[in-house]
Structure 1
Amino acid sequence: MLNNVDMIEDFCVEKTKRTEAYSMKSTHRHDAYEIYYMSKGERLYFIKERTYHVKAGDLVLVNMYDLHKTTEAYSPNHERILINFKSDYIQRMANGMEESFYEIFQKFPVLRLNIKEQGAVESILRKMIEEYEDKTEGYQTYLRLLLVELLLYIYRHIKKNKIEPIEYPNSLHEKVSEIVRYINSHYMDVLTLQSLSKQFHISPYYLSRVYKEVTGFSFVEYLNQVRINEAQKLLKTTNLNVTSIAEKVGYENPTHFGRVFKTITGTSPLKYRKNGSGTNTIDV
């Protein structure tokens, strides 16, 4: 099953070390912010519309509901620390700064830190992991304080430094990102490998292969994910019937739309409208 919106707890932090080949089975998104610190190794990290080559010492910031997925990058060995937190988790501690903190997730998906900056971030992360695992008295308050400290550090880092966009690993990645942006803007149209290959002057076979290679998932998987995400928004915010919504997001056949919707979300469009969410698990 493809993951759609993963429902997670208000706050979680975990450290993972992998020595064997691993790639997320599917793209996913969730109703929380994500901070991903690569402590050792490297990964390819797709976020919203492009893939980043994330290396040791890089900090990844994923906005709420942005599609993302990690895949192997040249070596299976890597260690990473992952934080997820809901928007209201820090409100009482942020003292009016929360909106500024949330903005950093919209502008800078990947920050490349120097040695000194890595040390500062790792110090905060170590304390977080200890508190989260030991759960000694007052740990919940301290976790909120540590998260605010981390967000404030990131915010100040961005304010005082000229942040340069992370370069594409190569021209192929840049070309595929251009195609992804086109899909994000034209998902409601009739899109096929053949039509995209003509649009971008690439053979269908080559496009299929490089799209999977660069992003970590197939063209059809990604297109369906984008369309279903938009359908979910319409189900929540409008009174349009399912047939009309299917047409608006690019499906000519309502029955096919219903099947794809259930595959991705775990529920039917009507049940989703009634309940507001599907049943999914996190795979990171």
Structure 2
Amino acid sequence: MDDKLNDFLKQCLANMQAHVTIAELTKVSPSWGHMNYMPEVHKYYYILDGEGCFKLNDTLYEAKAGQLYLLPAGVKQTLSTSGSNTCYKYWCHFTASIGDINPFQIMKLPYRIEVDNALSGFVETLFRDMIAHMRRKELVSALKVKSLFFDLLHFYMERAEITEVRTEASLTYEKMKTVAAYMNGHLASDLTTEELARLFHLSPNYFTQQFKEMLGVTPIQYLKRLRLAEAKKLLRTTAMSVTEIASAVGMELHYFSRLFKSSESFSPKEYRQLYRKRSVIDSRE
């Protein structure tokens, strides 16, 4: 995955909203199962013991201990037991969105990962604490549940390969990704919302609304972030003057200096000096 795409996906994930609706530890009955249904919620299953048979779309999985499943909403599922030793599992249902888009259509993840024995206790603790906090009445318990859920998602995504898919539901994502790439390639230009909207034959207001729903910021705010990130890179890696860097990222010097200090709490020159001092210290250690 290239750096620009990686940065864009990070921004998408930063704006991801999620809510755990239920979490439990269950030993399923021999009659447990669901046939060819498409749930409206996402699900996690962590198998502790026993066996089961999961068919997800057209792929058949033998569910066994040590496996963690992520079953996205909208995926055709057939779930059943496969013997007398039925599945003993932690599980939870949750909703998730990035703007109005299903994140698991933007990022295609495998439906299953294997959890090493050394990490099984960590995963069990996440589920156990999630269940405990969902049962508590304290106000902060809701925040703890969300924190534990994102820890679980982080654990899963670190061990799963992400691939992009193009579906009808992810067209907005594809457009926004193209806009971000265009911005990166034209940092020195005097870009406007109107110009960016014209790229996709959209009205500026509608374009701004769609962009903010996806990334949580307006196109111009996102462009400022890109320019500041590029400016910091140039300050660290080149001998260009601050004036030259301001021009390279499409800003007037006085505005660039003011925006940089507001964002970083240092002027561009102070930032460069601080980075060089840190580099010298690091080289001595």
TM-score by length of structure 2 reads: 0.47
TM-score by length of structure 1 reads: 0.47
Higher relative contact order (CA closer than 8 Å, sequence separation 6+): 1
